[in-house]
């Protein structure tokens, strides 16, 4: 089973590269950002709570996203593997994911981190904000808050996978196809 964690700050290209990986490897894409936005669109209680936090650029509680991922793993028992996009975003989420996969006699194959400078991230997200309708992309202050949340709470997750010798970092600046090639080289080494 190929279980990949795509890692990087907001706007690093995780969602973009996930689309290419789904096509090539037939993996199930689990994006906690997309799942949360789905809850918001449906107007569920969870979505109403999450929207407040997401619009401010802060993380939603670990228990909420862990519960969503657990449900999705259960609903896709015959999957060839998963791409975890935007999850885990805290060390507690990473520990919970290891436990969930272990209970299914599976494990993370590796984490691939996309390295992008803060200036490029801000530019990409503001550009997407012109058309995406996402409130968290439209405001430079919220974007900077998201990058700060990443540095404070999410960046330490890299250490969690480094300790397990499952971490690889690649350059996330350049053509989408070039970056996809680099990701494939890493996957071929698993």
Query: Which residues would be at the binding site for ligand B4P (CB under 6 A)?
Result: 10-16, 32-33, 36, 53-54, 57, 59-60, 65, 86-87, 89, 93, 124, 128, 136, 146, 176, 179
Closest to ligand B4P by CB, 43 vs 105, is 43
User: Binding site annotation covers 4?
Assistant: no
State how far the Cα of 180 lies from the Cα of 145, in Å rounded to an integer. Answer: 28
Q: Kindly state the smallest distance separating residue 83's Cβ from ligand B4P, in Å.
A: 11
Q: Kindly state the smallest distance separating residue 105's Cβ from ligand B4P, in Å.
A: 24
Closest to ligand B4P by CB, 22 vs 53, is 53
Closest to ligand B4P by CB, 110 vs 129, is 129
- Residue 14 a catalytic site member: yes
Among 80, 127, 134, 166, the active-site one is 134
User: Binding site annotation covers 59?
Assistant: yes
Q: Kindly state the smallest distance separating residue 174's Cβ from ligand B4P, in Å.
A: 6
- Residue 146 a catalytic site member: yes
3-state secondary structure of 3: strand
Q: Kindly state the smallest distance separating residue 1's Cβ from ligand B4P, in Å.
A: 21
What's the token pair of residue 49?
Answer: 């709570």
14-25 vs 176-188: helix axis angle to the nearest 10?
Answer: 60
Q: In this structure, what are the phi and psi dihedrals at residue 30, rounded to the nearest 5 degrees?
A: -115, 100
Q: Which residue is nearest to ligand B4P (CB)?
A: 33
What's the token pair of residue 15?
Answer: 């969602």
Q: Which is nearest to 16 in space by CA: 186, 175, 185, 187? A: 175
What's the token pair of residue 165?
Answer: 């010798």
Cis bond upstream, residue 88 (ω within 30)? yes
State how far the Cα of 161 lies from the Cα of 150, in Å rounded to an integer. Answer: 16
3-state secondary structure of 160: helix
User: Binding site annotation covers 15?
Assistant: yes
Give catalytic residues, as residue numbers: 14, 89, 128, 134, 146
Binding annotation for AMP: 32, 37, 58-60, 86-89, 93, 134, 146
């Amino acid at each position: 089973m190929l279980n990949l964690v795509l890692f990087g700050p907001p706007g690093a290209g995780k969602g973009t590269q996930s689309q290419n990986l789904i096509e090539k490897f037939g993996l199930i894409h689990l994006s906690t950002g997309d799942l949360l936005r789905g809850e918001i669109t449906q107007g569920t209680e969870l979505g109403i709570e999450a929207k407040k936090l997401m619009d401010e650029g802060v993380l939603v509680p670990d228990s909420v996203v862990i519960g969503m991922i657990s449900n999705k793993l259960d609903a896709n028992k015959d999957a060839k593997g998963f791409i975890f996009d935007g999850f885990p975003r805290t060390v507690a989420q990473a520990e919970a994911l290891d436990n969930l996969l272990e209970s299914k006699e599976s494990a993370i194959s590796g984490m691939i981190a996309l390295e992008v400078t803060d200036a490029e991230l801000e530019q990409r997200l503001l550009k997407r904000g012109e058309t995406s309708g996402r409130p968290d992309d439209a405001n430079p202050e919220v974007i900077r808050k998201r990058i700060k949340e990443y540095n404070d709470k999410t960046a330490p997750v890299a250490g969690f996978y480094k300790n397990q010798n499952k971490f690889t970092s690649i350059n996330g600046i350049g053509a989408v196809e070039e970056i996809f090639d680099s990701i494939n080289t890493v996957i071929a080494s698993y």
